[in-house]
């Protein structure tokens, strides 16, 4: 192949090229032979040139693929970051939307109450598992005093038992030391509803066997004692049962208020707050129970 190339170069240098020959003159036999040989050699050597150039083309192709892959990886990382940010914003938007709905419900509940109220946010829970107490972000500087009733959009929540300058503790209606005068909204019969320490459990105490109470009855505040607004929902009767060795019945009630959810509540300013036990005494176990106070 090398010899042929050298010979071709020699002949090609000594014989005028076809593209330089006058278009009028006829090529000589020697020129025609050189043209045919050159054409044949180009045909034979084309694959060699292609093979020789292949590594360079392949290298460029691989380089392009690498650049494209790096670009795609950067775009993927950017899109993942944007997606994470959008998801976080979506979660925040969902939370704000839900919070807006709860506040609207709370304001609707406020319109049904007979007096001034203070909107408070739940900011803490008692570390004592034996107590059902929550911490609110409103205190004396906001006009909160001990004994005031606390409600949410669905029902009675509890009552204030201790107040500091900028916060207050609330005893939930499910606490075993809490009781509230109520009535059956269907019949008007007055009863006492007490807590038993469970998160979602209340009990109607000492019901005579003849008491007209049914599963599904709505229990509401009676207004006796002046602490809780009259006619506000407290819970719904879920079951009835007899007390062993006693002529009385017992009825389980599910609270209407969302006691286990973090959010906002209303502190009711009306009425004459009655003395309630202090938190310090409750921790020692020597306390005046709200059941005694409400009765």
Residue 283, pLDDT score = 39
Give pTM, 2 decimals.
0.57
Element counts in the chain: helices (H) and strands (E): 4, 12
**Contact of 266 with 119, CB cutoff 8 Å:** yes
Residue 282, pLDDT score = 36
- Alpha-carbon dihedral 66, 72, 74, 76, rounded to 10 degrees: -150
Q: Which of 197, 178, 181, 177 minimizes the C-alpha distance to 189? A: 181
Residues 6+ apart with CB under 8 A from 134: 122, 124, 125, 126, 158, 169, 170, 172
| Beta-carbon count within 10 A of 283 CB | 13
Residue 2, pLDDT score = 59
Q: Which of 227, 106, 117 minimizes the C-alpha distance to 155? A: 106
Residue 238, pLDDT score = 93
Three-state DSSP at 163 gives strand
Residue 280, pLDDT score = 33
Q: What is the pLDDT along the chain (295 residues), one digit of tens a residue?
A: 555 556 556 655 555 554 554 444 566 776 677 677 667 666 766 676 667 677 767 776 666 676 677 777 788 878 877 777 676 666 666 656 666 666 666 666 555 555 678 888 899 998 888 888 999 999 999 999 999 999 888 889 999 999 999 999 999 999 998 999 999 999 989 999 999 887 788 999 788 888 899 999 999 998 888 888 888 899 999 998 877 777 888 899 999 988 887 688 888 876 444 444 433 333 333 333 344 334 3
| CA atoms within 13 Å, Cβ hemisphere of 89 | 6
**Contact of 199 with 281, CB cutoff 8 Å:** no
């Amino acid at each position: 192949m090398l010899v042929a190339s050298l010979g071709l170069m020699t002949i090609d240098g000594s014989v005028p090229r076809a593209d330089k020959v006058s278009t009028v003159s006829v090529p000589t036999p020697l020129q025609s032979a050189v043209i045919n040989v050159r054409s044949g050699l180009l045909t034979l050597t084309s694959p060699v040139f292609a093979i020789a150039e292949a590594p360079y083309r392949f290298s460029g192709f691989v380089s392009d693929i690498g650049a494209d892959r790096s670009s795609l990886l950067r775009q993927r990382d950017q899109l993942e970051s944007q997606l994470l940010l959008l998801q976080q914003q979506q979660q925040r938007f969902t939370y704000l939307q839900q919070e807006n709905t709860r506040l609207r419900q709370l304001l609707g509940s406020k319109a049904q109450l007979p007096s001034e109220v203070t909107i408070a946010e739940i900011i803490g829970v008692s570390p004592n598992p034996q107590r059902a107490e929550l911490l609110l972000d409103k205190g004396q500087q906001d006009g909160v005093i001990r004994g005031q009733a606390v409600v949410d959009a669905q029902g009675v929540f509890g009552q204030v038992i201790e107040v500091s300058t900028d916060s207050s503790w609330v005893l939930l209606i499910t606490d075993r030391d809490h009781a509230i005068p109520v009535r059956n909204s269907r019949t008007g019969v007055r009863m006492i509803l007490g807590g038993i320490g469970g998160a979602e459990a209340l009990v109607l105490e000492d019901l005579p066997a003849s008491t007209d109470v049914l599963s599904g009855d709505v229990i509401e505040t009676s207004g006796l004692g002046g602490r809780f607004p009259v006619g506000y929902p407290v819970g719904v009767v879920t079951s009835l049962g007899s007390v062993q060795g006693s002529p009385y019945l017992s009825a389980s009630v599910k609270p209407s208020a969302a006691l286990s959810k973090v959010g906002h509540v209303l502190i009711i300013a009306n009425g004459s707050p009655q003395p309630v036990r202090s938190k310090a005494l409750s921790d020692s176990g020597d306390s005046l129970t709200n059941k005694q106070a409400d009765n």
